[in-house]
Homo-oligomer: A and B are copies of this chain.
Amino acid sequence: MGEAGGAAAGGPRRAPRYTGVRTFAGLPAAGLEEACDSAHCGAAVVGSPFDTATSWRPGARFAPEAIRSASVLLRPWHPLHALDVFAASGALDAGDVAITPGNAARSAEQIASALSPLCAAGTIPLLLGGDHSVALGELRAHAGVHGALGLVLLDAHADTWEDYYGERLFHGTVIRRAIEEGVLDPGRSLIAGLRGSLYSEADLDEARALGLELVSIEQLQADEPAAFAARVRERIGERPALMGFDIDVIDPSAAPATGTPEVAGLSARKALALLRALAGIRFVGFDLVEVCPPYDAPGQVTSLLAANIAYEMLALAALARRAGA
């Protein structure tokens, strides 16, 4: 892009951050084909602006745009990992998947089709939702290459309900669907940050009965990041895994713009510390879901935090590649 600027293109000395068509952190824009050429692309930021499967506030369709907009504040050097995140991850911005609003089943297929070549090529996709239902297509794409994946998910909700008013693919049912389809291995999966009121006493028991390990917000708050990371490593093991982040695991004070907020969540500080502690795990993909921009103005703190979480994910991608090398 002719006049593209932004942090990834060389810092503050050439052009202001807000100059140019917005790609993630000013990364080069790429077609999916280009993003599959792992010589050029180690990781690909991909949007999936689908929000039909939302039980309260819709609007996550605007999340890829809002996160890209806030990402102009990111700079390449990660001081704690001592890493040039953009160079080390080899990231590009591959645009958005052409999903179908109103049709969750078809959109899942579109996402799976779009990501499959990336997964096959060894490019690590970082999927920006959209609501959490986008994870089903994502998991299908990965499972086509790696078999059923392990999952580390930070989320206020287990998303293992059976259905919503008869709808079986919804943002609150996606984990159950993925297990049923065999694309997610519950025995290698862990969901942390659970909190809030439930529909019935059985909700969490049913999630555990599916084979998942659950970590309550109380436990997550009490543990040091290293202890959490050790638990994750034990659960995930050495095989490929997915890292999922539902922004509603964060406290509404720091992430007001989400579809089904739950009070009393993680601070941004704790969330970043948890992510940084996961360095070295063999993640083959990442997703960041449920950012809902219409509820973020004027300060745009949720999008800003989301951009930083995506940045930490790219750092983890770089470290996973390094570990795998």
A283 within 8 A of B: no
Query: Which residues of B sit under 8 angstroms from A153, Cβ to Cβ?
Result: none
**Known: A2-B33, A201-B82. Is A298-B294 also a contact (CB below 8 A)?**
yes
Query: A280-312 toward B: CB 8 Å interface, digit per residue (1/0)?
Result: 000000000000001111111100110010010
A160 within 8 A of B: no
CA distance A254 to B301 in the complex (A): 10
Interface residues on A, range: 35 or more
State whether B16 touches A65 (Cβ < 8 A): no
CA distance A255 to B281 in the complex (A): 34
**Nearest opposing residue in chain B for A72, CB measure:** B56
Query: A148-181 toward B: CB 8 Å interface, digit per residue (1/0)?
Result: 0000000000000111111101101000000000
Q: Which of A6-14, A119-127, A237-245 contacts B (4 or more CB under 8 A)?
A: A6-14
Q: Which of A22-30, A137-145, A185-193 contacts B (4 or more CB under 8 A)?
A: A22-30
State whether B58 touches A59 (Cβ < 8 A): yes
State whether B85 touches A165 (Cβ < 8 A): no
State whether A12 touches B98 (Cβ < 8 A): no
State whether A76 touches B197 (Cβ < 8 A): yes
CA distance A298 to B19 in the complex (A): 23
> Would you list the 7 A-B pairs with minimal beta carbon distance, nearest first?
A256-B299, A2-B31, A15-B98, A3-B95, A58-B58, A75-B197, A297-B297
